[in-house]
Amino acid sequence: MVKIKLQLAVTDQKKKSTEAKKDIIYMNNRASTEQYRKRFTECNALAGFEIRGDSNR
C-alpha cells in the first residue's frame, strides 16, 4: 500500500513538472510570436511609408 502511494506521488510530481515545462514552452513561444508579429508590423509600416513616400514624388 505504501509503495503504491509513493508511486502515485512520484507520478503526480512528474505530471506537474511536465505541465510546468509545457506552460513555460507555451509562454516562450507566445512571447516570441508576439515579438515577431510586432517586428513584422513595424517592417510593414516602414515599407508602406517608404512606398507612399516614393509615390508622392
For the chain, the structural domain boundaries read 19-57
Alpha-carbon span 24 to 14, nearest angstrom: 15
Identify the DSSP state of 57.
-
Q: What is the pLDDT of residue 52?
A: 56
pTM above 0.85, yes or no: no
- pLDDT per 10-residue tile (average), the chain, 57 residues: 76 84 86 83 73 53
Could you tell me the three cell numbers for 25? 514552452
